[in-house]
């Protein structure tokens, strides 16, 4: 059974920790299978904290891999083109691992796992990894609205409750602070390209050139311009193979909040009160103290 056939059957999932990180119960109950996932040396992994720009990077990478062939990139939904390795659903629904294991090489895979929980075969096989990081406040805002509209993740509660849950790492895939730092700390020891959402928004062409270099791909200026255009927010917003609108409203209800919502840095200013922002920043300084990792919260 596919997700598209789930009309009226979706319920908010139960949650259960794996090594202190909040996951759905389906992920937690199948953790051993996920942990023993066999990566292949030519796998490319797109790793992100939730709502950091995963879908955007998936579209960029797919366009690059297909030499800018639009029709080819519209062959399937984002989640069917790139298996989401830890995403477990109750049978008969297909999990990310089922899809990955039957996919021919070279595969492009997706994960939201923190670095310390990545199945060890990825490190052993020295796979290339693109990590996308986005500033905490915009991630929080995006995750809050996503959790309102997507019934496959826990209910976010009120805005005030959600800020506290995010700060405490009590959201799926755990602490944003640990996630961005864990991948940052590993980036010089492995083949990891660390990309910032804000940089991608500021100058997509420059950042796509970095991705091309990392993937050892060469394309013409014309194809590069085509990729920049096709992966812009306004175009992706109307691409049904990338905007999650093919799922039934009982799973993702875009009338509550569209998946392609604002697509810009700085929207947090429309959500945080001055007091909430100050308290968030104070807590942030404490959690990120000593880190060389810095973010822009607007461009
Ligand atoms: P907002 O909710 O702030 O709009 P993910 O794919 O990791 O779930 O991230 C989704 C976020 O990335 C959403 O943020 C979405 O709008 C944004 N996004 C998706 N495609 C984008 C694009 N082409 N340009 C800018 N932002 C994009």
Which residues does 33 contact at the CB level (< 8 Å), separation at least 6?
97
Q: What's the pLDDT tens digit per position in 104-162? A: 999 999 999 999 999 999 999 999 999 999 999 999 999 999 999 999 999 999 999 99
Q: What's the pLDDT tens digit per position in 43-87? A: 999 999 999 999 999 999 999 999 999 999 999 999 999 999 999
Instruction: Given the residues 112, 145, 179, 230, select the one marked as catalytic.
Output: 112
Centre of ligand 1 from the C-alpha of residue 124, in Å: 31
Smallest CA-to-CA distance from 252 within 4, 38, 27, 56 is with 4
**How does residue 8 score in pLDDT terms, banded at 50, 70 and 90?**
low
Report the percent of the chain where pLDDT is more than 70: 97
**How does residue 295 score in pLDDT terms, banded at 50, 70 and 90?**
very high
Ligand 1 binding pocket includes 260 (Cβ within 6 Å): yes
Ligand 1 binding pocket includes 266 (Cβ within 6 Å): no
Residue 18's beta-bridge partner residues? 21
Smallest CA-to-CA distance from 108 within 77, 88, 129, 131 is with 129
Q: DSSP letter string over the chain?
A: --GGG-TT---PPPEEEETTEEEEHHHHHTHHHHHT----TT-EEEEE-TTSSHHHHHHHHHHHHTTT-HHHHTSS-HHHHS-BTT----TTSPPHHHHHHHSPSSPEEEE---GGGS-THHHHTT-EEEEEE--HHHHHHHHHHHHHHBTTS-----HHHHHHHHHTT-STT--HHHHHHHHHHHTTTTTEEEEEHHHHHH-HHHHHHHHHHHHT----HHHHHHHHHHTSHHHHTT-TTTSSTTS-TTTB-TTTS-SS---STTGGGGT--HHHHHHHHHHHHHHHTT------S--
Q: What's the pLDDT tens digit per position in 82-91? A: 999 999 987 7
Residue 112 is a catalytic residue: yes
- What are residue 193's phi and psi, to 5 degrees? -100, 115
Among the listed ranges 89-103, 184-198, 245-259, which one has the minimum average pLDDT value? Answer: 89-103
Domains (range + CATH), the chain? 3-287 (3.40.50.300)
Q: From residue 97, give the alpha-carbon distance in Å to each of 30, 124, 173.
A: 11, 18, 17
Q: Which of 49, 54, 56, 73 for a ligand 1 pocket mutation test, highest count of atoms within 8 Å of Cβ?
A: 56
Q: What's the pLDDT tens digit per position in 218-263? A: 999 999 999 999 999 999 999 999 999 999 999 999 999 999 999 9
Q: Which of 63, 81, 145, 260 for a ligand 1 pocket mutation test, highest count of atoms within 8 Å of Cβ?
A: 260
Among the listed ranges 88-92, 163-167, 196-200, 236-240, which one has the minimum average pLDDT value? Answer: 88-92
| Residue 170 pLDDT > 90 | yes
Ligand 1 binding pocket includes 243 (Cβ within 6 Å): no
Smallest CA-to-CA distance from 22 within 96, 107, 113 is with 113
| Residue 33 pLDDT > 90 | yes
Centre of ligand 1 from the C-alpha of residue 51, in Å: 7
Q: What's the pLDDT tens digit per position in 267-289? A: 999 999 999 999 999 999 999 99
Centre of ligand 1 from the C-alpha of residue 227, in Å: 16
13 token code pair: 């999932």
**How does residue 3 score in pLDDT terms, banded at 50, 70 and 90?**
low
HSE of 244 in the Cβ direction (CA atoms, 13 Å)? 20
- What does pLDDT average to over the chain? 96
- What are residue 298's phi and psi, to 5 degrees? -160, 160
Decide: 142 and 259 in contact? Cβ < 8 Å.
Answer: no
**pLDDT value of position 7:** 53
Centre of ligand 1 from the C-alpha of residue 58, in Å: 11
Ligand 1 binding pocket includes 51 (Cβ within 6 Å): yes
- What are residue 43's phi and psi, to 5 degrees? -70, 145
Length of the chain: 299
Q: Whose CA is nearest to atom 27 of ligand 1?
A: 263
> How many Å is the maximal CA-CA distance in the chain?
51
Q: What is the pTM of this model?
A: 0.97
Decide: 154 and 13 in contact? Cβ < 8 Å.
Answer: yes
Report the percent of the chain where pLDDT is more than 90: 94
């Amino acid at each position: 059974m596919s997700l598209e056939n789930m009309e009226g059957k979706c319920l908010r999932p139960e949650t259960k920790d794996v090594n202190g990180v909040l996951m759905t119960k389906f992920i937690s109950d199948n953790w051993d299978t996920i942990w023993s996932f066999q990566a292949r040396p030519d796998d490319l992994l797109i790793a992100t904290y939730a709502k950091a720009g995963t879908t955007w990077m998936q579209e960029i990478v797919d366009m690059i891999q297909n030499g800018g062939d639009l029709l080819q990139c519209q062959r399937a939904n984002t989640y069917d083109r790139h298996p989401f390795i830890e995403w477990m659903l109750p049978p008969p629904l297909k999990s990310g691992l089922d899809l990955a294991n039957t996919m021919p090489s070279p595969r492009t895979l997706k994960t939201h796992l923190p670095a310390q929980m990545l199945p060890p075969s990825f490190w052993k096989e020295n796979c290339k990894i693109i990590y996308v990081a986005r500033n905490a406040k915009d991630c929080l805002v995006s995750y809050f609205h996503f959790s309102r509209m997507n019934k496959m993740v826990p209910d976010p509660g009120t805005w005030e409750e959600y800020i506290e849950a995010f700060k405490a790492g009590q959201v799926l895939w755990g602490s944003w602070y640990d996630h961005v730092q864990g991948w940052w700390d590993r980036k010089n020891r492995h083949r990891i390209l660390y990309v910032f959402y804000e940089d991608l928004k500021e100058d997509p062409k420059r950042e796509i050139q970095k991705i091309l270099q990392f993937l050892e791909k060469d394309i013409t200026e014309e194809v590069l311009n085509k990729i920049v255009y096709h992966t812009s927010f306004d175009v992706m917003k109307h691409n049904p193979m990338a905007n999650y609108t093919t799922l039934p409203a009982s799973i993702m209800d875009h009338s509550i909040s569209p998946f392609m919502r604002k697509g810009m840095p700085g929207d947090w200013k429309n959500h945080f009160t001055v007091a909430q922002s100050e308290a968030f920043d104070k807590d942030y300084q404490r959690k990120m103290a000593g880190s060389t990792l810095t973010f822009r919260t607007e461009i």
